[in-house]
Amino acid sequence: MLTALALLLALAQALVPVHRATDSLPDMVELVPLEGAAFELGRGRYVGHLEVIAADGGLGLVETRALDEYLTGLREVPASWPAEALAAQAVAARTYAVWSIDRGRSADGRMYGYDICATSACQVYRGSAIATDAAVAPWVDAVYRTSGEILIHDGAAAHTFYSSSAGRRTRPVQDVWGGTAAPYLVAVDSPEAGVTPYREWTVALPAEVFIRILAAAGLNPGARIGQVSVERPPEGAGPSAVIVGTEEGNIRIGAGQFRAILNKHGPALYPGLLPARRPDGRRWPQAILSYTFAIAWEPGEFEISARFARLLPASDRPRPGIVRITGEGWGHGVGMSQWGAKAMSDEGATYDEILGHYYTGLQPVAGDLPETVRIGLAQNEPEVTIVATGPFELRGNGSSLGVMPPGTWVFRHTVGGVGVVPPPDVASRGIGILGRKWPR
């Protein structure tokens, strides 16, 4: 292991504007908060021990927390929701985290040494520091009230999918992603009418715009649309598909692929149209909110404002024909509907009743849980900027480099490891570490 002095010299080399190739940079830098300090990264705030890790793909940032401490930093539902809905969410989220750890790490997880990511691809984590906010106290109470409880199927943590809103009914897991059915992930009614803002939604597009969005994904119909429909097998028989009929034949697009295409290319190509506007004038959170929708081609003219029409090139201006998509819910619709859980809680259901309804036949029980969870806050980044609100200890490959002052610290992926750029005032004042100074 390199000495602390050698690590400091290597770090100092990485501070100059041109990154030097060196074999003596640390491949891991740690930030350990002191005296009530916290770290800020984007929208997240963290009080845990952070690790900046260099790998071939760039930098990763990892925080390690006790399992329930991790859960208190989730922001999946509003903390103002009823207590039983929050408790159901806490058990579902804890189970999902345990399932993730039991399953094994993803490719990025193995590269950077984390168990679960911090985004909606896993669970939305806003950081360990936010649990101190009085506004989230009801959520923190729900986490510790249900501490140790998970849902178990066949002796292991269940795969507890959940999403914002299912509309009228949830979806069997095989009807969204294909594959094998699961007895606790079947379709059930979701009693969220009059509660969820996502019960029903509509998107209307000029046929020409619809064709151009498909073309951006390499699916150019090459002719005028004659009809569009959804091919939906019986419930439990597998995923739906969108059928686009043209003069030259039909194009079949899986519902999941179709949603991904519209959500990616629609707003990029036509930000004035997508996401569409809600009845209250605000925009929906996505172009296509769920996998539960119907679609049809209608004759007629698409009405747009004169101002927006002037912004479109002539080739993009609406031609006869409208593609209308009507759907319900927001998210994949498998497992627990969060708005449905709120609706059930509003009507007096307990958290175990909510969980038993959405995860058919499962009830919360004490499980064999990991003590800690490693959360991937960033992956494959060329640099990571962290704002320290107070003093912290900086370590390189396990060796202390001293106590650092607060400020904005930049960690860069360099040839050979992690380079550190201190706040400008730190460098200009020549604050030393282990008797040495940052270069000016």
Q: Are strands 225-231 and 241-246 parallel, antiparallel or unpaired?
A: antiparallel
Where in 249-406 does DSSP place strands (E)?
249-254, 293-298, 322-327, 336-337, 365-366, 372-381, 383-388, 392-396, 399-404
- The HSE-up count of residue 125 (CA atoms within 13 Å, CB side) is 31
- DSSP character string of 89-107: HHHHHHHHHHHHHHH---H
Reported as a single tens digit per residue, the pLDDT across 337-349 is: 999 999 999 999 9
CB proximity list for 121: less than 8 A, separation 6 or greater: none
Residue linked to tokens 């793909």: 57
Residue 318 domain-assigned (yes or no): yes
End-to-end CA distance of the chain: 28
Reported as a single tens digit per residue, the pLDDT across 416-430 is: 799 998 998 776 555
Q: State the pLDDT at residue 385.
A: 97
Q: Nearest CA to 114 among 373, 371, 374?
A: 374
Burial 154-176 (b: 16+ CB within 10 A, else e): eeebbbbbbbbbbbebbbbbbbb
Residue 190 domain-assigned (yes or no): no
Other beta carbons less than 10 A from residue 423's beta carbon: 19
What are the residues facing 66 on neighbouring strands?
372
Contact 229, 295 (CB under 8 A): yes
Residue 185 domain-assigned (yes or no): no
pTM for the complete prediction? Answer: 0.86
Distance CA 73, CA 66 (A): 11
Q: State the pLDDT at residue 17.
A: 32
Q: Which two tokens stand for residue 362?
A: 């499962």
Distance CA 25, CA 54 (A): 10
Distance CA 436, CA 402 (A): 11
Q: What is the pLDDT along the chain (440 residues), one digit of tens a residue?
A: 444 434 444 454 444 332 333 446 889 999 999 988 999 999 899 999 999 999 998 999 999 999 999 999 999 999 999 999 999 999 999 999 999 999 999 999 999 999 999 999 999 999 999 888 999 999 999 999 999 999 999 999 999 999 999 999 999 999 999 999 999 999 999 999 999 999 999 999 998 899 999 999 999 877 677 789 999 999 999 999 999 988 778 999 999 999 999 999 999 999 999 999 999 999 999 999 999 999 998 886 555 555 555 666 656 555 568 999 999 999 999 999 999 999 999 999 999 999 999 999 999 999 999 999 999 999 999 999 999 999 999 999 999 989 999 999 999 998 879 999 899 877 655 544 433 444 43
Residue 216 domain-assigned (yes or no): yes
Distance CA 353, CA 333 (A): 19
Contact 67, 372 (CB under 8 A): yes
Residue linked to tokens 């959940």: 162
Contact 325, 203 (CB under 8 A): yes
Residue linked to tokens 């209307």: 204
Other beta carbons less than 10 A from residue 236's beta carbon: 13
Q: State the pLDDT at residue 319.
A: 57
Q: State the pLDDT at residue 217.
A: 95
Residue linked to tokens 């002539």: 314
Q: Which domain covers residue 232, as residue numbers? A: 201-327
Distance CA 399, CA 30 (A): 9
Q: State the pLDDT at residue 290.
A: 98
Residue 48 domain-assigned (yes or no): no
Reported as a single tens digit per residue, the pLDDT across 139-194 is: 999 999 999 999 999 999 999 999 999 999 999 999 999 999 999 999 999 999 99
Contact 80, 332 (CB under 8 A): no
- The total number of structural domains in the chain stands at 1
Other beta carbons less than 10 A from residue 43's beta carbon: 10
Residue 116 domain-assigned (yes or no): no
Q: State the pLDDT at residue 413.
A: 93
Distance CA 112, CA 135 (A): 33
Q: What angle do CA 237, 184, 169 make, to 5 degrees?
A: 60
Residue 229 domain-assigned (yes or no): yes
Q: State the pLDDT at residue 315.
A: 61
Q: Which two tokens stand for residue 289?
A: 């909110």
Residue 304 domain-assigned (yes or no): yes
Contact 354, 88 (CB under 8 A): yes
